[in-house]
Chain A
Amino acid sequence: MYDVNAIRRDFPILSREVNGKPLVYLDNGASAQKPQVVIDAITKGYAEEYANVHRGLHYLSNLATEKYEGVRGIIARFLGVKDEEEIVYTTGTTMGINLVAYGWAMPNLEPGDEIVLSVMEHHANIVPWHFLRERQGAVIKWVDVDSTGWLDPQKVIDAIGPRTKLVAVTHCSNVLGSIVDVRAICDGARAKGVPVLVDGSQAAVHMPVNVAEIGCDFYAVTGHKLYGPSASGAIWISRKRMDEMRPFMGGGDMIREVTRDSVTYNDPPMKFEAGTPGIVQQIGLGVALEYMMGLGMTNIAAHEASLRDYARARLDGLNWVQVQGTTRDKAAIFSFTLDGAGHAHDISTILDKRGVAVRAGQHCAGPLMDHLGLNATCRASFGLYNTTEEVDVLVDALELAHELLG
């Protein structure tokens, strides 16, 4: 039994008011709120168990290291990874993808080599590839989505040519909510010998993920969307690709020995983790993932599917709302515009007065916005603690916005 009201009590911020109204937090796509267990873990981490990791032989350093390293196994379990040494800690998906761009792609791509992207990628899965285009002549090949926001996996596979070195796709659009059949893409890409990077920023929040079943080479997640601390995260990198990578950032922890004339590197994953990391953040991420797995990813997915269906029905009932992204199989993420009614910022400003937090703008997805022919949308993105009553508050607030702006 998924008791959403009990779950809501785990998240202290959800009981606060905004502008005199109960908070209705529908900006989970940007960042999720934190349960008390995560907040407690952060406090305890600093209050009782803090020291730098991997360095000291003293009690606290050992304790912090043990807690911090213990998270690798939790992330591995969360992503269906057998070997936890294939989990590299990051500050989030942006860092994870940059690690692959600098560490794997940069030394492996020649001028004219191609990277295949979908048009609905987040800037974090676009700009690192633009770097390669600008700096070493890589070519970005774009695959469009159809009018419902569906990405045909065959179109991605067909875009793979003899010069293609990498496919980089999202598992779930942060704007449209569309779920991508990454397994089909990986099957096709593997047949052509091309690795696949999957941006799991959104998908891992909303449904069970098993990278072994997907068959990709890289899978990046971000902790702050997974109900964990900001600047926590991880990327799973298959052993094969890890062996092909050179380190990205240099510094402490990632080396075995440094002399005036030479440097030898630590073994992966530490080879890719330079400097003092977000120790407490990562410990908090472990607690957040245990919290999610405790609720059950299948249960979370089922709860959010019912929210999605309810929200879809309510929004479909408003003939002056245009929802972008209408695939049947999508996460509970709704981007929309209102007929004739000003700018997405106008709408979000009015919703905010009703306590409803949504995002307005381009959602870090410029190419998708161009494809949709829109300057900006409002986005309501749901999480594991949202309710159908909150959908009703959203709809009431939209009716007010429509009336004021119409």
Chain B
Amino acid sequence: MAQAAFEEVVEDFEFLEDWEDRYRMVIEMGKAMEPLPDALKVPATKVEGCASQVWLHMTPEGGAFHFQGDSDALIVKGLIALLHRLYDGLPLAEVGGVDARAELGRLGLHDHLSAQRSNGLRAMIERIRAEAAAAA
């Protein structure tokens, strides 16, 4: 079991039959996410290795992992929103133990989205793990 926020998404996705609805949901989650202020879209928060632009701004607090993220691509932004539900608020020590790809696979996206190298999912997960380890 992942965090409650993510389990809610898993439940929602269970009712979606085709990929179009799943993609629509991912895109809507991205659109609903609070955008990262432009002042935080700087080289230090930019995640390299993504075909589109991605920024992750980590704000660990009180031993818990927190972050904000943004992308100029809507599907990638939706992936960030999913990662947010998966990781945000976790104790720092638990971040490294999350198998994000397997969790996202439960959403029925693994056939394409989570396996696609160019969307930067791998790079984003690595950045989250590294930052959490550094803050712990």
Contacts and interface: CB of A to CB of B under 8 A. Distances in A.
Q: Do A and B come from one complex?
A: yes
Interface of A: 19, 341-343, 345-346, 349-350, 352-353, 360-361, 375-376, 400, 404-405
Interface in B84-136: 111-113, 116, 118-119
Contact of B75 (A346, A375, A376, A400): A346
B23 interface: yes
B23 A343 contact: no
A378 to B, nearest CB: 12
Contacts of A361: 51
Nearest to B19: A353
B112 A345 contact: no
A343 B119 CA distance: 12
A404 B112 contact: no
A396 B52 CA distance: 24
Contacts of B27: 342, 346, 404-405
A345 B73 CA distance: 7
Given A342-B27, A343-B52, A346-B27, 6 more contacts: A341-B74, A342-B75, A345-B73, A346-B74, A375-B53, A405-B27
B23 A404 contact: yes
B76 interface: yes
Contacts of A341: 74
Interface string B57-78: 0000000000000011111100
B20 A345 contact: no
Contacts of A376: 52
A343 B75 CA distance: 9
Contacts of B112: 19, 349, 352-353
A350 B71 CA distance: 17
B20 A400 contact: yes
Interface residues of B, number: 20
B23 A353 contact: yes
Contacts of B51: 345, 360-361
Contact of A404 (B24, B53, B72, B118): B24
A380 to B, nearest CB: 18
A346 B23 CA distance: 10
10 contacts: A342-B27, A342-B72, A342-B74, A342-B75, A345-B51, A350-B23, A353-B20, A376-B52, A404-B23, A404-B27
Contacts of B75: 342, 345-346, 349-350
Interface string B3-32: 000000000000000011001100100000
A349 B20 CA distance: 12
B20 A342 contact: no
A69 to B, nearest CB: 40
A404 B24 CA distance: 6
B111 to A, nearest CB: 8
A68 to B, nearest CB: 36
B93 to A, nearest CB: 34
A106 B24 CA distance: 54
Contacts of A375: 53, 72
Nearest to B113: A349
A349 B77 CA distance: 13
A377 to B, nearest CB: 13
Contacts of B113: 349
Nearest to B51: A345
Contacts of B23: 350, 353, 404
Interface centre among B20, B24, B52 (most CB of A within 10 A): B52
Contacts of A345: 51-52, 73, 75-76, 118-119
B29 to A, nearest CB: 13
Contacts of A404: 20, 23-24, 27
Interface centre among A342, A353, A361, A404 (most CB of B within 10 A): A342
B77 to A, nearest CB: 8
A166 B16 CA distance: 60
B36 to A, nearest CB: 15
Contact of B73 (A19, A346, A353): A346
B89 to A, nearest CB: 28
B110 to A, nearest CB: 13
A14 B84 CA distance: 40
Nearest to A19: B112
B33 to A, nearest CB: 13
A352 to B, nearest CB: 8
Contacts of A352: 112
Contacts of B74: 341-343, 346, 405
A342 B112 CA distance: 19
A375 B24 CA distance: 24
Interface centre among A345, A404, A405 (most CB of B within 10 A): A345
A275 B90 CA distance: 57
A350 B112 CA distance: 11
A360 B73 CA distance: 12
Contacts of A400: 20
B81 to A, nearest CB: 14
Contacts of B20: 353, 400, 404
